[in-house]
């Protein structure tokens, strides 16, 4: 299927690993011009070996000033963004008895503000140009509460609301904003999830993995490429009437309407 992404300028936050890296690779394969960002230069350097033609920038996106500086550099190199894919940041999973107000705030910084600090300037620039697509990789924890992911889930829920609200606010100015809610996905972050789940349930990480996969209706975790393929479609004109929604991709772990 021709997606019409050739020559589009794309920024993928969190693009050095996992789902973000898979998204960057997928957009490159479609002929897009791609930039990635990460907090660590070492991660950027490693990722760019698998992203021929892409460029990378370092930034702590929990800092609004650092996010703005990164955007300035990326757009100076690529030109105005046509597509923003947010995949940076993840709140640490914590058993409920270990939660503190400080950890709640840290979770919001890690997942919510690491997105908003990039979205806010980008959506306004896109609106001024009359075109743009923002794809937010969020997470199903914002819809289904998990005892070891309460603070992070709250951040995800806030992002789902922001996705819908910004889509409504900027739709008439040519900007689409959509979300994706992956479930368990085969990335490095799975290890942290399994360790916390094992601690909470008093089982081994192997048992935690077996139980988690047993709950997935499709019988397997998602691959990062599964999520990237949907991000590609949503960023393309093939999805020109899709906006303001967050699409679940949890493999029927939670079969709800």
What pLDDT does residue 94 have? 83
Tell me whether residue 91 is in a domain: yes
Tell me whether residue 3 is in a domain: no
DSSP state letters, 158-191? HHHHHHHHHHHHHGGGTEEEEEEEE-SBSSTHHH
Buried-exposed string 88-122: b where 16+ CB fall within 10 A, e elsewhere:
bbbbebbeeeeeeeebbebbbbbbbbbbbbbbeeb
Tell me whether residue 257 is in a domain: no
Q: Which of 57, 61, 84, 74 is nearest to 177 (CA)?
A: 84
Phi and psi torsions of 58, nearest 5°: -100, 145
What pLDDT does residue 226 have? 98
Q: Which of 139, 246, 229 is nearest to 189 (CA)?
A: 139
Tell me whether residue 255 is in a domain: no
Structural domains in the chain (count) = 1
Q: Which of 122, 126, 154 is nearest to 139 (CA)?
A: 154
Tell me whether residue 256 is in a domain: no
Residue pLDDT tens, the chain, 257 long: 689 999 999 999 999 999 999 999 999 999 999 999 999 999 999 999 999 999 999 999 999 999 999 999 999 999 999 999 999 977 888 888 989 999 999 999 999 999 999 999 999 999 999 999 999 999 988 888 888 889 999 999 999 999 999 999 999 999 999 999 999 898 887 777 788 778 878 899 889 888 889 999 999 999 999 999 999 999 999 999 999 999 999 999 988 87
Alpha carbon distance 5, 176 (integer Å): 15
What pLDDT does residue 7 have? 97
Phi and psi torsions of 213, nearest 5°: -65, -35
Tell me whether residue 32 is in a domain: yes
Alpha carbon distance 112, 62 (integer Å): 9
Tell me whether residue 130 is in a domain: yes
Range of the domain at 157: 9-249
Alpha carbon distance 114, 97 (integer Å): 26
pTM (2 d.p.): 0.94
Residue 16, domain CATH: 3.40.50.720
Q: Which of 106, 110, 112 is nearest to 155 (CA)?
A: 112
């Amino acid at each position: 299927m021709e997606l019409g992404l050739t020559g589009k300028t794309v920024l993928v936050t969190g693009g050095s690993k996992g789902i973000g890296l898979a998204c960057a690779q997928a957009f490159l394969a479609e002929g897009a011009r791609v930039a990635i960002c990460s907090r660590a230069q070492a991660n950027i350097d490693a990722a760019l070996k698998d992203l021929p033609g892409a460029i990378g920038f370092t930034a702590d996106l929990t800092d609004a000033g650092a996010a703005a500086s990164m955007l300035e550099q990326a757009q100076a190199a690529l030109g105005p963004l046509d597509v923003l894919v947010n995949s940076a940041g993840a709140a640490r999973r914590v058993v409920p008895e270990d939660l503190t107000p400080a950890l709640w705030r840290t979770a919001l910084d890690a997942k919510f503000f690491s997105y908003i600090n990039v979205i806010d300037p980008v959506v306004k620039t896109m609106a001024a140009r009359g075109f743009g697509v923002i794809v937010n990789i969020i997470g199903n924890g914002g819809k289904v509460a998990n005892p070891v992911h309460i603070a992070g889930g709250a951040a995800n829920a806030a992002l789902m609301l922001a996705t819908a609200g910004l889509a409504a606010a900027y739709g008439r100015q040519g900007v689409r904003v959509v979300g994706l809610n992956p479930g368990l996905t085969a990335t490095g972050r799975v290890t942290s999830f399994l360790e916390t789940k094992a601690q909470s349930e008093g089982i081994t990480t192997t048992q935690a993995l077996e139980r988690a996969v047993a709950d997935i209706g499709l019988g397997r975790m998602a691959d990062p490429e599964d999520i990237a393929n949907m991000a590609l479609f949503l960023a393309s004109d093939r999805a020109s009437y899709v906006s303001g929604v967050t699409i679940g991709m949890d493999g029927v772990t939670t079969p709800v309407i």
